Amino acid sequence: MSATAATPIKSVDALNTAPEEYRLAVRKIVRSHAVNELYGARVYDEPAIALAPTPYLKWLTCRIAMEEYGHHVRFRQLGEQMGIPETEMTPEGRKPLSIFEFPLKTWEEFCVVKLLADLAEIIQVEDLLKCSFMPLRNLAKVTMPEEIFHSQFGKDTCTELVKTEDGRKKVQAAINHYFPMMPAFFGKADSANNALYRKYGIKQRTNEDMRADFLKRVRDLVEGHLKLKLPEVAEAA
């Protein structure tokens, strides 16, 4: 059986019946999620425990770090079933997204990372909820509630922080720093990889569509809800 958008691949074993380019495409997505979930936990969530201003927020951040790490574990386990070498599913073996190259310095930055990066992650995972590779679709269903909680955490903590003038300035500074890196999160325009993903129903939307959706939703959050300014950035990666 060949995979097309209309013929879901129901299991890892059934992947053997799919075309080579389908298998490679799925491997690429699983590997990318495994690496980036672990990178995010290490670079942002774990260091943020020390920066959190109260025990309540420290323990909540501790839990969020565990959940992000748990997402890595789930993607890694799927990758292992698919025969992806473990070394390719850790940051040591793969180049990370550019956002991970900027270490966290303040609590406000962490809250903004959760606000922006977890919304971007939600948009990526939403697309996988209709993925033709069922194990990946099921994984998206499992991780989605936690991603939504993390994004809501970003919104709630930023909402609290902007109640003071000092907090507003710090949140705005963090948005100015991190937001320009976000459009690249969705990949290049006219991406050959993305075309392949859509050909087989692994993903549903173009990178441009997802980026536009993100920019709309983030503008609503930052300008509409927080009443802050979103910096101008080039929309195409």
Partner 1 sequence: MSDAARGDADAAWAQVATFTAELPRLKWFAAVGTALTPSVIAAAERYVAALGLAPSPIARVAGWREAAATAQRPDWSRDWWQAESACEQALQRQGAARFGLQPLLAALTALTEVAAELQTGAASALAAAGVDDPALAKVAAGAAAQACHQRGLALLAGSETGQAFTAKFELFAAGRWPLGIVGGTCFVF
- CB neighbourhood size of 135 (10 A): 19
Contact residue for partner 1 among 14, 60, 215, 237 (CB under 8 A): 60
Question: Does the protein bind partner 1 through residue 153 (CB under 8 A)?
Answer: yes
Contact residue for partner 1 among 4, 7, 51, 66 (CB under 8 A): 66
Within residues 83-122, the interface with partner 1 by CB under 8 A covers: none
- Determine contact, residues 223/215, Cβ cutoff 8 Å: no
Task: Give the helix ranges, DSSP H, for the chain.
Answer: 20-40, 46-51, 55-81, 107-128, 134-161, 165-178, 192-199, 207-219
Query: HSE of 141 in the Cβ direction (CA atoms, 13 Å)?
Result: 8
Tokens of 234: 């080039």
Contact residue for partner 1 among 2, 16, 20, 55 (CB under 8 A): 55
Point out which span in 19-27, 66-74, 113-121, 190-198 binds partner 1 (CB under 8 A): 66-74
Looking at the Cβ atoms of 38 and 221, the one nearer to partner 1 is 38
Three-class DSSP category at 42? helix
Within residues 35-54, the interface with partner 1 by CB under 8 A covers: 50, 54
Looking at the Cβ atoms of 51 and 237, the one nearer to partner 1 is 51
Task: Using CB under 8 A, list all residues that contact partner 1.
Answer: 50, 54-64, 66-67, 69-70, 73, 149, 153
